[in-house]
A and B are shown apart, each in its own frame.
Chain A
Amino acid sequence: MEDQNKNSRRKFLDKGLKLGLATAIGGMAISKISKLSAKSNTSNGEFVELMTTDGTLIQVDASEVVEIVHTTDPDKKYNVREGKPNRKYVMVIDLAKCKNALKCQTACNKHHYITGDHAWLKVYKMQEDEDTAPYWMPTTCMHCDHPACVTVCPVDATFKRRDGLVLIDNERCIGCRFCMAACPYSTRVFNWSEPNQGDMLMDMKMEGSCHSSPEYAGLPSVKGTVDKCDFCPHSIDKGELPHCVTACPNGVFYFGDKYEDTVTNGDETLRLTKLLADKSGYRLLEGLGTHPSVYYLPPVDRLVDFKEGLESFTDFKSVDKPE
């Protein structure tokens, strides 16, 4: 039996090689013929009638009918580590519109059940130099295309997906904090103690998705592991915008797909390339070569007053906690 197998494999390889050579030499015509002959070889003359999605009946050779393999887990529509196929998520933050209303931060804290002292989304009070104007700068995770955090992670707990997202598998993270040291944007936070996300667990049970996965924002948070802004893959999955984008009253945040060349802040949808070209978009610490997925539009022609934001500016706090 084994010998036969070997023989047939050898024959197959032999044939394959010859066939390959023949197609290379003979070109399209010969390859078509060989395909046809291959088809007729496997066909046993039985046909099955099927209805297509638009309602027409078609006849298909019985040997071509293959059962669709259903995924055992209905929640896993796509590979969490691979990401959505043919997508490249980007964000544009228009600094000209930000007046530190902090609705983005509140929404983010609420929806990610942040219980620590360090919000994932922060609005920095920035001033490059004494002589230049101050401005408000919201920061999320930059979801870099060359993520320093992913490079240094010893266990592949933080990973880069094809759709651009950098996520954390907090069931694998060993808590060495090397990624936090590597991130030049200081965007990562650590669960120094048991995160008491009491309400969250209840809410998640109601939604029927009480499993910890990077897909659901890595929630619930796990003691001794790293967390950070996740670009809300749970919202993306539902076809919704990330929470910060929808929460912002000033339309600062635009979210979209680089391949579609479109970003939207919920109110207006714009061409990404045109927006970046018209308003001289840039990325944070571009010189480090991290290639962030978050673009900034410079704070020029401002519609809002910087000073208005000072009211809600809290230097030492980014998470509101029940007293």
Chain B
Amino acid sequence: MENYDKLLNDLAPQKFGKKGVIWTTILVVLTIAGIIAYIDQVIKGQVVTNMNDYALWGVYISNFVFFVATSFVGTVTVAVLRLTKNSWRTPIVRIAEIISVSAIIMAGITITIDMGRPDRLLNLFIYGRMQSPITWDVIIIPTYITISLLLLYFPLLPDFGLLKKHFKEKKPKLSKWYGKLSLNWTGSEAQKAIQTKSIKIIAILIIPAGFMLQTIDAWLFSTLFRVGWDSTNLGAYFISGASVAGVGALVSVAYVLQKAYKLEDYITDYHFDKLGKFLVLVCLVYLYFNLNEYLIPQLTSKKEATTHINVLLTGQYAPLFWFVIIGGLIVPIIALMFKKGRKPLPMFIIGLLVVVTSWWKRYLIVTPTLLHPFLPIQGVPESWRHYFPSIHEWLITIATLAMALLIITILVRYVPIIPIQRTADEQEQLRTGKNLES
């Protein structure tokens, strides 16, 4: 039992320190600034953005795609590592689940920001038609939110039970909440059996749901005629890209939490080493699909395709494109091949780089394609031939990113980052020399 005491002391949610308060305040301020900008957008219309009839989608959509991609981390780490029975996942699964929940909720919010008539949101349900990829999105996003929440919640039940006891004297109110959330968890064999089974079902369910989510997201583009989107490669390309974005986000957040909560005993160099190998694997897969996406059309060199790709390779978007390819793929692949590159600090830097380039990658998927329609751009203001987000768009986009971090921060504040019960079980098993079955 002293084993539990040490774990609980280390891992039970703690109050924010000074840094935590400052961090949260900044996020709240950014969020409020974004909300004000959004209200202004609703009043004046989307004229406050720099979108136009040619660049008809902008940073809102690419930001949405980024959130959807990042939410894939739940599928890729929890479920895939679980199916392949990689036991090193224990201390990082909860972080992955938290990122996943936060990202997919924000994806749902972000997509409505792009709507010209958010007041008519209900029309999607009243008049919804199955043939539209948007309707598929309307179905899969709430589904994925539900599954992600359950995947976060079910493994938490025993931990909530432990926390209820832990806070009983110190904070009776908080303890009561944990008690309610634990659904009267006692740790009986019957409860454990139900819990294990439920987690198993959800962990398997999230795989097809996650793949569907990413694929539908890709189909939003590949069902259209536009050059650069009209590609059969896009579904697989998005899934592999989402794995990169998700694992990158996981590495970054894991490092910050390790430092902020002094979890060096739990999230060790070993885990970063493993995560590094995982990241290099998904990067290599993504590189493969990138070659398919950019190199093959260049070889057949259809006029529209080469125009589009040359804008990326050597034209207006070349600096951004090469930053994304080198920073987001080449550098991680090379650095992570070496053991030194997989130490926590270099991993953190690479993780951040991967997240930033993933975000810009989505921008490059959405914007340049729209600026090269089939018919020439004529008869519209000169400014319509370019696109760069306006102040309103930046404020709102930054606010959505801040809100995602805020959701993570709040969850981390009240939920144990490392699964306590499972860690205890594993330590117990290590002592007795048995292997964990699930």
Inter-chain contact A180/B134, CB cutoff 8 Å = no
Q: Whose C-beta in chain B lies nearest to the C-beta of A227? A: B53
Q: Whose C-beta in chain B lies nearest to the C-beta of A105? A: B379
Inter-chain contact A154/B129, CB cutoff 8 Å = yes
Identify which of residues 60-113 in chain B touch chain A, using a CB-to-CB cut-off of 8 Å.
Answer: none
Task: Check: A139 CB closer than 8 A to any chain B CB.
Answer: yes
CA distance A224 to B116 in the complex (A): 4
B120, B121, B224, B381: the one contacting A117 at CB < 8 Å is B381
Interface 1/0 per residue, B32-58 and A, CB below 8 Å: 000000000000111101011110110
Q: Whose C-beta in chain A lies nearest to the C-beta of B138? A: A154
Inter-chain contact A175/B116, CB cutoff 8 Å = yes
Identify which of residues 242-280 in chain A touch chain B, using a CB-to-CB cut-off of 8 Å.
Answer: none
**Which A residues are in CB contact (< 8 Å) with B382?**
315-316
A183 to chain B, nearest CB (A): 8
Task: Check: B131 CB closer than 8 A to any chain A CB.
Answer: yes
Inter-chain contact B120/A174, CB cutoff 8 Å = yes
**Which A residues are in CB contact (< 8 Å) with B44?**
193-194
**Which A residues are in CB contact (< 8 Å) with B45?**
191-194, 223-224
Task: Check: B132 CB closer than 8 A to any chain A CB.
Answer: yes
Interface size class of B (residues with CB under 8 A): 35 or more
B128 to chain A, nearest CB (A): 6
Inter-chain contact A124/B376, CB cutoff 8 Å = yes
Inter-chain contact B127/A316, CB cutoff 8 Å = no
Task: Check: A189 CB closer than 8 A to any chain B CB.
Answer: yes
Task: Check: B427 CB closer than 8 A to any chain A CB.
Answer: no
**Which A residues are in CB contact (< 8 Å) with B128?**
154-155
**Which A residues are in CB contact (< 8 Å) with B224?**
148, 152, 181-182
Given the interface pairs A176-B116, A188-B53, the reply to whether A152 lies near B134 with Cβ below 8 Å is yes
Inter-chain contact A190/B53, CB cutoff 8 Å = yes
Task: Check: A156 CB closer than 8 A to any chain B CB.
Answer: yes
Inter-chain contact B133/A152, CB cutoff 8 Å = yes
**Which A residues are in CB contact (< 8 Å) with B384?**
117
Most buried by B among A119, A173, A186: A186
**Which B residues are in CB contact (< 8 Å) with A223?**
45, 116
**Which A residues are in CB contact (< 8 Å) with B374?**
184-186, 285
CA distance A13 to B57 in the complex (A): 57
CA distance A131 to B226 in the complex (A): 27
Identify which of residues 70-119 in chain A touch chain B, using a CB-to-CB cut-off of 8 Å.
Answer: 117-119
Inter-chain contact A177/B225, CB cutoff 8 Å = no
Task: Check: B346 CB closer than 8 A to any chain A CB.
Answer: no
Interface 1/0 per residue, A189-213 and B, CB below 8 Å: 1111110000000000000000000
Given the interface pairs A153-B132, A174-B123, the reply to whether A192 lies near B52 with Cβ below 8 Å is yes
B57, B124, B381: the one contacting A316 at CB < 8 Å is B381
Given the interface pairs A185-B375, A189-B53, the reply to whether A316 lies near B134 with Cβ below 8 Å is no
Given the interface pairs A154-B128, A176-B134, A224-B116, the reply to whether A316 lies near B56 with Cβ below 8 Å is no
**Which B residues are in CB contact (< 8 Å) with A186?**
53-54, 373-375, 377
CA distance A25 to B305 in the complex (A): 64
Inter-chain contact B116/A122, CB cutoff 8 Å = no
**Which B residues are in CB contact (< 8 Å) with A140?**
none
**Which B residues are in CB contact (< 8 Å) with A177?**
56-57, 114, 116
Task: Check: B380 CB closer than 8 A to any chain A CB.
Answer: yes
A228 to chain B, nearest CB (A): 10
B interface list, Cβ under 8 A from A: 44-47, 49, 51-54, 56-57, 114-117, 120-121, 123-124, 126-129, 131-135, 138, 220, 223-226, 370, 373-382, 384
Sample of 23 A–B contacts (CB below 8 Å):
A117-B381, A118-B379, A118-B380, A122-B378, A124-B379, A126-B376, A151-B131, A151-B132, A154-B132, A154-B135, A155-B120, A173-B117, A173-B120, A174-B123, A175-B46, A178-B134, A184-B374, A190-B46, A191-B45, A192-B45, A223-B116, A288-B225, A315-B382
A interface list, Cβ under 8 A from B: 117-119, 122-126, 139, 148, 151-157, 172-178, 180-182, 184-186, 188-194, 223-226, 285, 288, 314-318
Known A117-B384, A181-B56, A194-B44; further 8 A-B contacts with Cβ < 8 A: A123-B379, A124-B375, A154-B124, A154-B132, A174-B124, A175-B117, A176-B114, A186-B375
